[in-house]
Copies of this chain bind each other. A is one copy, B any other.
Amino acid sequence: MDSRFDNISPIDYRYSPDGPEKELLSEKARIVYQLKVEAALAAGLARYNICPPQAAEEIIKACRKISPDEVYKEEEKTKHDIRALANCIRRNVSDKAKPFVHFTATSEDIKLTSESLRYKDITQQFIIPQLKELEKSLIEKALLYKGTVQTGRTHGQHGVPITFGFALSEYVSRLGARIEKIAGSASELRGQMSGAVGAYNASSLFIKDTEKFESELVESLGLKRSQHSTQIIEPEYLTDFMHSIISCFGVIANLADDIRHLQRTEIAEVAERFEAGQVGSSTMPHKRNPWHFENIKSLYKEIMPRMITIYLDQTSEHQRDLTNSASARWIPEILSVFMFAVKRMTKHLTNLMVVDKNMLRNLELSKEMVVAEPLYILLAYHGHPDAHEYVRKMTLKSQKTGRNLRELAMDDKDIKRYLERFSGAQMDVIRHPERYTGRSENKCMQTCRYWKKRLEL
């Protein structure tokens, strides 16, 4: 291969992970992990006195030095990836040890167990720490702006005020819960060592409690065994794990959308930091596009539908068919794109510029209308029999006359008697709608504290 630009997948020429996670995500790692499982099998066989300790040691040693290139080359002959792997190991051990390479195992015992282990390692070593970085960054931003008043928006319309910190704490909470979901489902990825059709046909020729043998073996790798196996591990452990990833990506995509829209020229409440030489448009030199957040959304759109493949791969005929074999190879691509998006979000969220003066400016647009809610609520509370309808009509009048809602209400003799019942604090909200932020600040702090502690950030 001359250069990465001879590649076809964007994950290989453009969105490649830039840290040590790359190695774990590559095809090389797949084979390294398969060798780990073959080594653990040899160790297990020795523990049960099925193979001589010396033979096991030879195999374990051989498993450490075999390269993917050798295995792929051998596969050209065998047309079978795991037989190729076994042949490569066999070539590196004595005749005494040879029979115990891959002994009693079926290919899937090796492949699926090693993939469970690899995905668990990727999750624990990289995905969780990276997500925690993002969570930390979100919490910092949320606390920094816990009191910064912003318009609450529903349907793209101004609702009643919140604070920007409150808005961010939504994501603190949703992301926090997803981090736990991912960690939980990754730790549920399972291993197996149950032979050709899952009934331990071969191993039961030598071992009485085959399930115990299997348990000990996969536990030596840090996994639990699949509750039941055929030729394959029950698919749902992986299905659940992928759902946790995809649904977490959904939370991040939602955040990206929010930030995109807050950057609209008319809104301009936040901005991506541009580097000195950065160009926004090849023809409009003034453009500052929210392209990092657009990029994150776009990556989500690419990855999310792949959950369909995961669901389709739940079905495997009888003790298994192979129609998930190629598709399962794309799982590392899914994880890679997800991790790329997480890192990009963390970086650009951290750099995000918050323009609080524009938040206030935007709030001004609807400030007088915001009064509608507390006015209706308080009128109702103080006895007005049809407050919602009354206020709704006044908003129409306000729009028609251009006079603000508060004035219209205060001038209205019919409701004077209700207004007189308002407490000072209640009247304060009517007079200063920007103070009508409810428990925004408090809820923001609570949420941040909760997740900071729970995730030990």
User: Which of B231, B290, B316 is within 8 Å of A254, CB to CB?
Assistant: B316
Report 19 cross-chain contacts, Cβ distance below 8 Å, ordered by A residue. A5-B69, A8-B25, A8-B336, A99-B383, A153-B319, A154-B322, A155-B291, A173-B234, A174-B236, A177-B234, A199-B443, A201-B436, A202-B374, A205-B377, A205-B381, A261-B261, A285-B391, A295-B326, A298-B325
Bound-complex Cα distance A299 to B312 (A): 12
What size tier do the contact residues of chain A reach? 35 or more
Bound-complex Cα distance A432 to B336 (A): 49
Taking CB atoms and an 8 Å cut-off, the chain A residues in 186-244 that contact chain B are: 195-206, 210-211, 227-228, 230-231, 234-236, 239-240, 243
User: Which of B27, B156, B234, B243 is within 8 Å of A321, CB to CB?
Assistant: B156
A106 within 8 A of B: yes
In whole Å, how far is A442's beta carbon from the nearest beta carbon of chain B?
Answer: 9
Chain B residues near A450: list those with CB within 8 A: 227
B327, A106: Cβ atoms closer than 8 Å = no
A139 within 8 A of B: no
Chain B residues near A389: list those with CB within 8 A: 285
A144 within 8 A of B: no
In whole Å, how far is A427's beta carbon from the nearest beta carbon of chain B?
Answer: 11
Evaluate whether A321 and B155 lie within 8 angstroms (CB atoms) in the complex, with A79-B279, A199-B443, A311-B304 already known. Answer: yes
B322, A295: Cβ atoms closer than 8 Å = yes
Query: Which partner residue on chain B sits nearest A306 by CB separation?
Result: B305
Interface flags for A385-412 (1: CB within 8 Å of B; 0: not) read 1111101101100000000010000000
A16 within 8 A of B: yes
Chain B residues near A57: list those with CB within 8 A: none
A195, B315: Cβ atoms closer than 8 Å = no
Chain B residues near A362: list those with CB within 8 A: 265-266
Q: How many of these chains are in the complex?
A: 4
Residue of A106, A107, A196, A381 with most chain B CB atoms under a 10 A cut-off: A196
User: Which of B9, B198, B281, B386 is within 8 Å of A8, CB to CB?
Assistant: B9
In whole Å, how far is A157's beta carbon from the nearest beta carbon of chain B?
Answer: 5
A141 within 8 A of B: no
User: Which of B22, B285, B386 is within 8 Å of A388, CB to CB?
Assistant: B285
Evaluate whether A326 and B302 lie within 8 angstroms (CB atoms) in the complex, with A281-B106, A439-B210 already known. Answer: yes
Chain B residues near A98: list those with CB within 8 A: 380, 385-386
B247, A239: Cβ atoms closer than 8 Å = yes
Query: Which partner residue on chain B sits nearest A50 by CB separation?
Result: B381
A356 within 8 A of B: no
Chain B residues near A157: list those with CB within 8 A: 263-265, 280, 287-290
